[in-house]
Structures are given as structure tokens and as C-alpha cells.
Structure 1
Amino acid sequence: MTTAQFVAVFGPYADRLDRDILPAFPAAVLEQAAASVTDTDEEVPVRPEEMTV
């Protein structure tokens, strides 16, 4: 998927998250959530070729 295709498909969702959903949460909650992200694929069912690690 090219960058343009990715933005065309997922851009509206990212915009809605930034505009409508994330502002509904207190900054402290978002910071705590961001700190708990481990950047692994263990919690997501992905195929081997889709893994990031």
C-alpha cells in the first residue's frame, strides 16, 4: 500500500480520533495510556509477515 493509499483509507479515521475522540479524555489519561504502550504485536493477532518486531 502506498502512502497515498494509506492516507486515503486511514486518514479520515485518524482525523476523527484527533478531532472528536481524544479531546474527550483528560491529558493525564492519555499520557498514562501512551506510557503503557509496549510497541509489540503480542496482543494483536497478526500473520508473521505483518509483525513489527
Structure 2
Amino acid sequence: MRRDLDHLPLAKRHELELVTRILFAEFEDALKARNAPHRKAGRILKLVLFGS
């Protein structure tokens, strides 16, 4: 599995960066709404770009 984004056009790399920031921000907001301590310990381990 490829782990770099160098093969993508610059515009797509910026778009993925924006999407990643939004995902992490929304995930953080979702965790703040949880009451149980074990549910506040969630984290994103990996983002996988899949497609042709």
C-alpha cells in the first residue's frame, strides 16, 4: 500500500489536506459530546484513500 501523496496533483493534495482537517475536527467535536470516559478515549488511527 502506498503511503505518500506525491503521485497526486497539487490540487488533489490540498483537497485531501482539507478533508483530513475536517474529519479530525469533527471527530474531536464528537468525542467532546460523549460522557463516558472510555468513549472519550477514541482516536483516528489511519485514513485510507481508496479508489481508482
Do the two structures share a fold, i.e. TM-score over 0.5? no
Q: Which protein is richer in helix relative to its size? A: 1
Question: Shorter-normalised TM-score: what interval?
Answer: 0.3 to 0.5
TM-score, normalised relative to structure 2 = 0.35
